């Protein structure tokens, strides 16, 4: 039995070293030049696999994502339909995302960019601040990441709601579900966060129409958007237009189409936009390899795989 990494855009030596450290007995192969006999390969971990590579593995039993999202794998139109895909659900990855979401909600709430600007200009302006309870945060995507962020934000005193396909029960967090409750969710939301997976249903969900339905009763008089889900979920032109017209107060964006964000994108220099380079939650090689190796061991001993992707939902 062998395990194959298919990571054309990742630092492969870091990942092979991490896997060898956490699973010294695993026969680790690397696409394309250290693949060996393809018939040995029963497990692979992939991110943006070139179309056809996964399909060329005749004895493959499981495809593993090295992140929480699987869109980078599902892009391959030739994936074998009968091989299960699993994704990462790990406290390290989740904790990193929660740090990012809490950081950016607090940054907007405490007007840190205004303070930074004042410091640069040597302006002592102790403007009034407002309480966390004055701000309604709404999280789209209440899975592993969204639920954890919601709880931490709730504990800081923010009014938190989540929107997902199915309703959730989290004490102190209001739940909205499905298209029927989307508008009500938007109407009570001052800070809109996306932690949705990339699927055809979530493509372009942060558009001018969505922004227009957000609350304008919050302390800034206009809403704030934070997208750490996937770049496909926001329409960049709509965000820019809404910021310029005052319909949107500010935006934090971690994910883009395409990535890297091209230097000519007006998002880079917009005074109301905070850009981060898809680093909200980094996959730590040793932690993720230990998780992958654990899932392989489970599968080999006949146990159910953790965090199986439901192909009918696409996440």
Can you give the binding site for ligand NDP, defined by CB under 6 A? 67-69, 89, 97, 141-146, 163-166, 195-199, 201-202, 228-230, 254-255, 278, 280-281, 315
Task: Strands of the chain (E only): list them.
Answer: 2-6, 28-30, 41-46, 62-65, 85-86, 136-140, 159-164, 173-177, 191-194, 224-227, 250-253, 273-275
Three-state SS at 212:
helix
Tell me the window of 11-19, 65-73, 78-86, 241-249 that interacts with ligand OXD (CB under 6 A): 65-73
232: annotated active-site residue: no
Residue 231 sits in the site that holds ligand OXD (CB under 6 A): no
Which residues between 252 and 291 bind ligand OXD (CB under 6 A)? 281, 283
Report, in Å, the least distance between residue 138 CB and ligand NDP: 12
The item of ligand OXD, ligand NDP, none sharing an interface with residue 289, based on CB under 5 to 8 Å by kind, is: none
Q: Does 69 bind ligand OXD (CB under 6 A)?
A: yes
For Cα atoms 109, 118, 112, give the angle at the middle one, nearest 5 degrees. 20
Pairing of strands 191-194, 41-46: unpaired
Q: How far apart are CA 271 and CA 261, in angstroms?
A: 17
Q: Least distance from C-beta 201 to ligand NDP, angstroms?
A: 4
Tell me which of 154, 159, 230, 234 is the catalytic residue.
Answer: 230
* CB burial of residue 49 (10 Å; 0-12, 13-18, 19+): buried
* Cβ at position 93, least distance to ligand NDP in Å: 6
**Which residue's CB is nearer to ligand OXD, number 104 or number 154?**
104
Q: Which of the ranges 62-70, 78-86, 260-268, 307-315 carries the binding residues for ligand OXD, by CB under 6 A? A: 62-70
Q: Which residues contact 312 (CB under 8 A, 6 or more apart)?
A: none
Minimum CB distance to ligand OXD, residue 313 (Å) = 16
- The yes-or-no answer on residue 278 being catalytic is yes
Interface with ligand OXD includes 198 (CB under 6 A)? no
CA gap 250, 219 in Å, rounded: 13
From first CA to last CA, the distance across the chain in angstroms is: 28
68 is a contact residue toward ligand OXD (CB under 6 A): yes
> What's the token pair of residue 308?
């199986």
Closest distance between ligand OXD and the C-beta of residue 280, in Å?
8
Which residues, including other chains, have CB under 8 Å from residue 153's CB and lie 6 or more apart? 101, 102, 105, 137, 160
Q: Which is nearer to ligand OXD, 164 or 283 (CB)?
A: 283
Sorted by sequence, the CB contacts under 8 Å of residue 82 that are 6+ apart come out as none
For the CB of residue 173, give the shortest distance to ligand NDP in the complex, in Å.
12
DSSP 3-state of 275: strand
Piece of the chain touching ligand OXD by CB under 6 A; list 28-36, 66-74, 156-164, 295-303: 66-74
Q: In this structure, are residues 43 and 296 in contact, taking their beta carbons and an 8 Å threshold?
A: yes
Binding span for ligand OXD by CB under 6 A among 8-16, 64-72, 161-169, 293-301: 64-72
Task: Report which secondary-structure segment, H or E, holds 89.
Answer: none
Question: Going by C-beta distance under 8 Å and a sequence separation of 6 or more, which residues neighbour residue 275?
Answer: 253, 261, 267, 268
**67 near ligand OXD (CB under 6 A):** yes
Choose from ligand NDP, ligand OXD, none: what does 315 bind? Cβ within 5-8 Å by kind: ligand NDP
Q: Which residues bind ligand OXD (CB under 6 A)?
A: 67-69, 281, 283
Q: Which residues are catalytic?
A: 230, 278
């Amino acid at each position: 039995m062998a395990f194959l990494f298919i990571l054309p855009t990742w630092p492969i030596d870091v990942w092979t070293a991490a896997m060898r450290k956490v699973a010294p007995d695993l026969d680790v192969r690397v696409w394309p030049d250290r693949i060996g006999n393809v018939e040995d390969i029963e497990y692979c971990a992939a991110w943006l696999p070139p179309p056809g590579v996964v399909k060329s593995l005749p004895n493959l039993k499981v495809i593993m994502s090295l992140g929480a999202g699987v869109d980078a794998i599902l892009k391959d139109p030739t994936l074998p339909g009968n091989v299960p895909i699993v994704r990462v659900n790990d406290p390290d990855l989740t904790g990193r995302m929660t740090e990012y979401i809490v950081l950016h909600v607090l940054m907007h709430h405490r007007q840190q960019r205004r303070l930074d600007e004042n410091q640069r200009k040597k302006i002592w302006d102790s403007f009034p601040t407002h309480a966390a309870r004055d701000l309604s945060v709404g999280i789209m995507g209440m899975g592993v990441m969204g639920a954890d962020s919601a709880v931490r934000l709730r504990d800081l005193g923010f009014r938190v709601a989540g929107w997902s396909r199915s309703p959730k029960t989290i004490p102190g967090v209001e739940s909205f579900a499905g298209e029927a409750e989307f508008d009500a969710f938007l109407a009570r939301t001052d800070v809109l966060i996306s932690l949705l997976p990339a699927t055809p249903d979530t493509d372009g969900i942060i558009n001018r129409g969505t922004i227009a339905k957000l609350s304008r009763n919050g302390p800034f008089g206009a809403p704030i958007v934070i997208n750490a889900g996937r770049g496909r979920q926001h329409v960049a032109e709509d965000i820019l237009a809404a910021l310029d017209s005052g319909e949107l107060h500010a935006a934090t964006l971690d994910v883009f189409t395409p990535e890297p964000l091209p230097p000519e994108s007006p998002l880079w220099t917009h005074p109301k936009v905070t850009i981060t380079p898809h680093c909200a939650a980094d996959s730590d090689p040793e932690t993720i390899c230990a998780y992958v190796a654990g899932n392989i061991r489970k599968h080999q001993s006949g146990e159910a795989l953790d965090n199986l992707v439901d192909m009918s939902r696409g996440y």
